[in-house]
Every structure is written in structure tokens, then in C-alpha cells.
């Protein structure tokens, strides 16, 4: 149903109610022209953006029958040979429809199902509107007319968008309890009111609209209806909120996740999806410091036995991972290190290093990435020496002859330390050294203020911190 997807994306809908099919069984009768007798047809349900197989049937000529005792309501895909599929809404006990394997949308006829009648009427409406704007888009692509003529075309495009918005509002208003209406409503943007003004017309709170948008972003979601999670729009909206709306700070994101989760009943698929989403999205931080969201999620929901879907092995694995990450979260004091210098006889404590900024550098002389990073870091340390920056470089090899040789040959005047085979240290575990190089930036109190920066980013970061401290 790729054509449907392109239409829905155009209008920002991502659409990828009355009876609970899971309580009373289900019967879905399909007549699909173009099938071969004995074709395997799958019924797959959405859970967020992903599809999971829910049932299998075999065609008898052009007819397909799915039936059973239990099936959760939501949006489903009917998957045909050749990985072609079309979508249906399952919110009633019986669905009867006809279509053609070579043209699902235009040939779709709903015989029994109020939900799917509304759904496909809406899809056909969108298809018509998409076709109506193609000439305008084509003219605008290489437009060479006057500004006035261009404005006319833009006005026509906006008029079509207004028609789409009007149709969305009609469906949501006339069928508030229908699942298809709930999916459409979830896709519709929140209308943000004007900021309040004083008697002189001056805005009282310049952040009012942003705060309103954040607070009301999920107002169109019916968290009492577990079926809303079984549509791609649910995860799409989570992505938008947590990557584009919320400030990219772990503390802010944790607060918003907890608020969102508090709107669920703590026992349904919506709760399960949001908690799992938070854990999986932030386990390996793509943005610096976001691993704190993973740790918070594990501590709040997995360590308190609220993750009812996770077996003991999964829970144990999640907790183990969170506990590995926790000691080196941004804001924590760097775990204690007291390692040998290159002589193997004298220990140098990280906490004894007197510096405004300490670059804690874990590296391996045989590591290809380290061979590229180390010379750049050496030059950077020389450039920043007068600005209170020192590199505490930890060799991770244990067998140290090659490490010592590399230090001498490349004149590495860092604070060079390592453990030894006779006195191995725990730092590889507590600092989660799963690969090298691994870099942390510490302030004068040895609190972690940055990590996993590229060596090219370190200079800019320290310059920014110095300027910030001088203000």
C-alpha cells in the first residue's frame, strides 16, 4: 500500500471502534482479485512503526478468511505474495471487503465495517486531493512567472490543505469513538494560542507558546484506549517530541517521559511501548549525555518490577547495563583512578592532578583509531597547556611494552599511566571501555562535563567552557 503511504506523508498524517475484537473473536472475509489458489496471506499488526505477524490464511481462489478467538484492535496490514500489502482497521468483530491485488486503493470496496468505510473514504479523499495539487506543484517546481502569479499557486495549495484539515475535523467530530478517528486526531497538530499580553499589548511571557506546545503535545491521544499504540503515528509522534520538541537534556527528557508514562495505567501496551522506547532509544547515546535517560528508565521501571513484559534474564541484562553506565554519567565525579606510570613503580592518582580541565583519555597503542587520535590530542594539549588543560592518558593494553615504546617514539608528554599484569585494575569495567579511544572531559573537581567527543571537538568544547567560566 505504498501509494497510501505517500499520500499520508504528504499531509503529515502517517496513518500507517466500537467493539473490542479481542473480547468476542474476529472474522475477516476478503475477496482479492489476482490471487492464486493456495497463496499464503498474512495478517500483521502494527506496534508503533513495526509490523508483527498475527495470523496466517491460505486463499481459496480469490477468497481469504481470517478468524479466531483473540485479536487486539488496531491497524493491521494484509500482506500478499510479493510483499505487497494494504491496511485495515480492526475494531469490529466482522470485516468483509473486496479489492484487487494490482490496485488496492481504487478497487477497495468495504462490504461490512463502519471503521474501514470511514478509513477508505478518507484515503480516497486524500488521493483525490493529492492528484489535484500535482499541477500546482509542477508549475512551482520551475516557476518563472511573476510574484503575483506564484502567490496564486501557493494560495491554491493552501486551499487544498484547508480542505484536508476540514475533513479531518469532520471525521474527528462526527466519529469521536471510532479508532480511525482517533488515529487521525493523533496526527493533527496542536493549535497553540497567542501569548497573553498586558494592557499595552506587550507579551507577558515570551516562552508561553513553547511551554503550551510542550505541555499539550499529546492532548489528541486517548491514553485510555490501548489500541492507539498499534499504529505508526504513535511512535512517529514520540520521535518528534523527544528529538525536536523537548530540550536535548537528559533531565528534561526524563521529566517528560515520566509525565507521559503517568498518563497510562501502568499495565497496558501503551505503558509497555513508552518504557521500552525510552530504554532502547537512549541505551547507546547518540547525543552526549543521553545515556542518563536509559539509566533513569531502568532504575524507575525495570528495577521496580514494573516492566511486566520483561523476563528475568532481560531484566537482569538491562540492570547490568545501567549499572555499568551510571558511574560515568555526565555530572558524576569521575571514578577513582590510581595507576602506574611508565616505570611500573610509581602510582599517579587522577584526583591528584591539578588542572582546570582534565582530558581523561583511554587508548591502546595498537588501535588504528587511537593512532589517528593521539597525535591530534598531543598537539591540542600543547596548545591548551597554558589554559589549565592536562591529559591523563590511560593505556588499556595491560601488556605494556608496546605502550611504553609508542610513548617514547612519539614523545607523548601526557600523564601516561596504566595497570600491570601483576596489579590489574577495575577501570575497564567501571569506565565501560568496550572500545578505544574513549574520552572524558573533567572539570577542576574531576566532575565529568563531557564524553565521547571526537578529538576535533575537544578544543571547541574547552574554549566554550573557559568563556562560560569567565562571564
* Percent of residues, the chain, with pLDDT higher than 70: 94
**Of the candidates 336, 421, 409, which has an alpha carbon nearest to the alpha carbon of residue 378?**
409
Q: Are 377 and 361 in contact (CB under 8 A)?
A: yes
Q: What is the pLDDT of residues 378-410, one digit of tens each?
A: 999 999 989 999 999 999 998 889 999 999 999
- Can you give the pLDDT at residue 397? 92
pLDDT of 4 higher than 80: no
- Can you give the pLDDT at residue 16? 33
pLDDT band of residue 282 (cuts 50, 70, 90) is confident
pLDDT band of residue 430 (cuts 50, 70, 90) is very high
How far apart, in whole angstroms, are the C-alpha atoms of residue 443 and residue 121?
61
How far apart, in whole angstroms, are the C-alpha atoms of residue 258 and residue 255?
5
Buried b (16+ CB within 10 A) or exposed e, 277-300: bbbebbbebeeebbbbbbbbbbeb
pLDDT of 10 higher than 50: no
**Looking at residues 190-202, what average pLDDT do you find?**
94
pTM for the predicted model, two decimal places: 0.85
76, three cell numbers: 493491521
* Percent of residues, the chain, with pLDDT higher than 90: 82
**Looking at residues 301-310, what average pLDDT do you find?**
96
- Can you give the pLDDT at residue 21? 46
- Can you give the pLDDT at residue 307? 96
Return mean pLDDT, the chain.
91
pLDDT band of residue 140 (cuts 50, 70, 90) is confident
pLDDT of 471 higher than 60: no
Q: What is the pLDDT of residues 252-264, one digit of tens each?
A: 999 999 999 999 9
pLDDT band of residue 13 (cuts 50, 70, 90) is very low
> CA torsion sign, 317 to 49 to 191 to 244?
positive
Amino acid at each position: 500500500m505504498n501509494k497510501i503511504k505517500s499520500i499520508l506523508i504528504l499531509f503529515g498524517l502517517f496513518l500507517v471502534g466500537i467493539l473490542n475484537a479481542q473480547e468476542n473473536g474476529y472474522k475477516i472475509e476478503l475477496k482479492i482479485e489476482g490471487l492464486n489458489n493456495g497463496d499464503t496471506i498474512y495478517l500483521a499488526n502494527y506496534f508503533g512503526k513495526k509490523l508483527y505477524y498475527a495470523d496466517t490464511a491460505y486463499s481459496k481462489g480469490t477468497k481469504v478468511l481470517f478468524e479466531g478467538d483473540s485479536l487486539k484492535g488496531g491497524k493491521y496490514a494484509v500482506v500478499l505474495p510479493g510483499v505487497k500489502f494494504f491496511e485495515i482497521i480492526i475494531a469490529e468483530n466482522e470485516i468483509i471487503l473486496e479489492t484487487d491485488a494490482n490496485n488496492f486503493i481504487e478497487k477497495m470496496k468495504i462490504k461490512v465495517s463502519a471503521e474501514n468505510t470511514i478509513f477508505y473514504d478518507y484515503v480516497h479523499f486524500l488521493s483525490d486531493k493529492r492528484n489535484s495539487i500535482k499541477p500546482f506543484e509542477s508549475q512551482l517546481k520551475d516557476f518563472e512567472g511573476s510574484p503575483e502569479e506564484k502567490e496564486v499557486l501557493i494560495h491554491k495549495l493552501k486551499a487544498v490543505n484547508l480542505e484536508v484539515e476540514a475533513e479531518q475535523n469532520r471525521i474527528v467530530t462526527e466519529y469521536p469513538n471510532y479508532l480511525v478517528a482517533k488515529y487521525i486526531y493523533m496526527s493533527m497538530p496542536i493549535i497553540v494560542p497567542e501569548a497573553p499580553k498586558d494592557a499595552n499589548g506587550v507579551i507577558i511571557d515570551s516562552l508561553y507558546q513553547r511551554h503550551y506546545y510542550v505541555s499539550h503535545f499529546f492532548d489528541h491521544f486517548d491514553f485510555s484506549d490501548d489500541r492507539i499504540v498499534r499504529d505508526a503515528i504513535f511512535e512517529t509522534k514520540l520521535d518528534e517530541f523527544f528529538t525536536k520538541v523537548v530540550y536535548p537534556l537528559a533531565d528534561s527528557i526524563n521529566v517528560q517521559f515520566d509525565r507521559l508514562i503517568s498518563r497510562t495505567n501502568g499495565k497496558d501496551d501503551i505503558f509497555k511501548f513508552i518504557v521500552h522506547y525510552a530504554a532502547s532509544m537512549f541505551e547507546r547515546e547518540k547525543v552526549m549525555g543521553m545515556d542518563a535517560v536509559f539509566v533513569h528508565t531502568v532504575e524507575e521501571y525495570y528495577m521496580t518490577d514494573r516492566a511486566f513484559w520483561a523476563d528475568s534474564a532481560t531484566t537482569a541484562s538491562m540492570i547490568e547495563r545501567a549499572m555499568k553506565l551510571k558511574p560515568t554519567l555526565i555530572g558524576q565525579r569521575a571514578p577513582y583512578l590510581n595507576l602506574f606510570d611508565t616505570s611500573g613503580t610509581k602510582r599517579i592518582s587522577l584526583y591528584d592532578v591539578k588542572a582546570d580541565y582534565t582530558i581523561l583519555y583511554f587508548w591502546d597503542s595498537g588501535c588504528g583509531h587511537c593512532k589517528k587520535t593521539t597525535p591530534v590530542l598531543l598537539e591540542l594539549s600543547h596548545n591548551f597547556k597554558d589554559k589549565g588543560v592536562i591529559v591523563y592518558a590511560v593505556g588499556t593494553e595491560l601488556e605494556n611494552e608496546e605502550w611504553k615504546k609508542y610513548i617514547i617514539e612519539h614523545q607523548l608528554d601526557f600523564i601516561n599511566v596504566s595497570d600491570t599484569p601483576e596489579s590489574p585494575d577495575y577501570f575497564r569495567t567501571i569506565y565501560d571501555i568496550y572500545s578505544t579511544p574513549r574520552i572524558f572531559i573533567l572539570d577542576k573537581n574531576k566532575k565529568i562535563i563531557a564524553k565521547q567527543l571526537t578529538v576535533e571537538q575537544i578544543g571547541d568544547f574547552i574554549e566554550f567552557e573557559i568563556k562560560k567560566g569567565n562571564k
